[in-house]
Every structure is written in C-alpha cells, then in structure tokens.
Amino acid sequence: MLMSYREALNQAMREEMRRDSRIFLIGEEVGYYQGAFKVSKGFVEEFGPQRVVDTPITEAGFTGLAIGAAMAGLHPIVELMTMNFGIVALDQIVNNAAKIHYMSGGQLSVPLVIRGPGSAAHQLGAQHSQSLEAWFCHVPGLKVIAPATPHDAKGLLKSAIRDNNPVIFIEAQLLYGTKGDVGDGEYTIPIGVAEVKRAGHDATIVAYSKMLLLALEAADQLSREGIEVEVIDPRTLKPMDLPTIVASVKKTGRLVIVEEGWHFCGLGAQIAESVYREAFDYLDAPIQRVTGADVPMPYSRPLEDAAIPNKERIIKAVKAMCATP
C-alpha cells in the first residue's frame, strides 16, 4: 500500500492505541489541531481528549508528566513540535527518563516514546533546524531511531511504542510528505537492525533519515558512471547495527558516512571509529564524512543549502576514495 510518511506514523500510533488502552498521546496541538504536521489527524475524534492530550507550551512540564505516567504503568507518546524544543525538556529526558530504571535497580521502567520532527526544513532559522541525534545517542538509557521511509517509520514506531525503555524517535520534517510502499497488514521492525538499501561492491555509504534519499540518488548517478555503491540505512542510531556496516566495508573496502548534523563530535565520528577498530585492515582508503557545516543554520536559502550535505558532495567523496590507489 502506498502512503506518505505522516500517514504511516498515524497508522502506527492508531493501531497501537487500539491494541493497548494504556497508550496515550500528549503534546502541543496534538488533539483538535491534529498535530503541528497533522500526524495525529483524527485521533481526538476516535480516542477522546483523555488519551489525546493537548498541552500548554511547557515541554519540560508535559515530558515530566509523561515520565511519571510511564513509571506508573502507562505508555505515553510525547509529540514535540520540533526536536529542537526537546532542549527545553533535556533535564527530564537525560536526568529522569534515561536514568530511572538504572537508579531504581531495575524496579521502575519508563516505557516512553518522544517523537517529532528533526533536522532542517526550509528556512526555519538556526533554532529550529538542528540535528540533535548525536546528543541523545550520547546518553546511556536512551534508544534513538531515525527512519527514512514510510515502511520503516511505521514498523519502527510500533516497536518503539512496545519497548519498555525511553525511545527518541526522530522524524525529518521534509520526509512527512514523501511516499512509499508500506505493505498490507500489521508488522513491526526490530530496533537495532540496519538494512542494506542498495547492494554494491565499490564503496559503502552509510546514511540515515533524509540523508538516505540523497545517498540513493548519488548511488544511482554513480552507477551510471560505472561505480557500484552499497547503501546502508542504520535506521536505529542507538543501539546501532555495526556488524552490518562492518560486513559491508569488509566487502567494498571504502566508506562514506553522510549525516546532516555537525561534523565535530557527530554521529559519523562514532561510526568511523567503530569501523576503524573492526575493519581497519580491509580499508583501501581513509573513511570520508559528509556532514553539515559547523555553523548555526543560516536563514538565507542559498546559505542554508550550502550548510547541508547534497548529492554532489556525496558523489565527490565516493569518487575521491575510488581514485585512491
């Protein structure tokens, strides 16, 4: 079945809320406005205002409320208008949600999903265009998911809702309108399992979220020029399926990592370190990283475009590696 990314998310939450009455959705404008990006369209009509809870502009407050509800046995889904607003709730996320299971000696769990749009869209300015997944991945106790396709978004969101741990679920804003085959019937995708989106033998590209779409476009163009690239989507950023990435690099001997986030201390640095540790003797060229610029996101559209990875930069990085003796 062909559906949009937002429709896949809507379907995943709807199916889970019908399955389990403990699940509720909370956030700004998730009810009568149907979500800032219309992901919760039709929810308040079906599930009512007790399970689809509109809140004031108080991210720290309603995130803390959701953590308490999860500790008490409910399964909250927190929708943030943008993951950038998660910074306001960072104390709740990092010092409470991520630590309560450990600090209680396993007596308490926090089955909580915090989801919403991340990364840049079009001219939203520096405070609304950040890719913060590396921040969340750094924190023990959090799982982090960033799906690129409607099929993966639905299956992974269902798995996140069923997980007994706090999960950060990042949806790139520019993906909401993209469409893909979701299939018929109910399904889940295991957390922590990557997928080879395109097979190849000359180089490996690792990319996630909307960068995956750029990587696949680059791979198509490179193929027309005689370079066959393998493209891997981690899907889950923490825990990450490093064995799949390492196996691909051992086959191709080259690796390009594409991420929209900042270069310094970015997620790609962790992937590169892991590959160097596990597959150094198999590399035929130094690992290349294609990242966002280390600047606050400009508002100017030409400058914004310059700060974000594009297909041409990915192709250039692959060709540079393939030219290495």
DSSP state of 120: -
Distance separating alpha carbons of residues 128 and 36, to the nearest angstrom:
14
In angstroms, the Cα distances linking 323 to 50, 272, 278, 279, 291 are 60, 20, 24, 20, 21
Instruction: Please indicate whether residue 128 is annotated as part of the active site.
Output: yes
Q: What is the secondary structure of 266-306 as a DSSP string?
A: -HHHHHHHHHHHHHGGG-SS--EEEEE-SSPPPSSHHHHHH
Distance separating alpha carbons of residues 78 and 110, to the nearest angstrom:
13
Answer whether 255's CB lies under 8 Å from 274's CB: no
Length of the chain (residues): 325
| β partners of residue 255 | 204
Amino acid at 199: A
List the structure tokens of 124.
């939203």
Choose the catalytic residue: 128, 138, 195, 278: 128
Answer whether 146's CB lies under 8 Å from 191's CB: no
Distance separating alpha carbons of residues 265 and 257, to the nearest angstrom:
13
Distance separating alpha carbons of residues 272 and 217, to the nearest angstrom:
23
| β partners of residue 236 | 145
Q: Which of 176, 178, 236 is nearest to 206 (CA)?
A: 236
Choose the catalytic residue: 7, 16, 28, 59: 59
- Report the catalytic residues: 59, 128
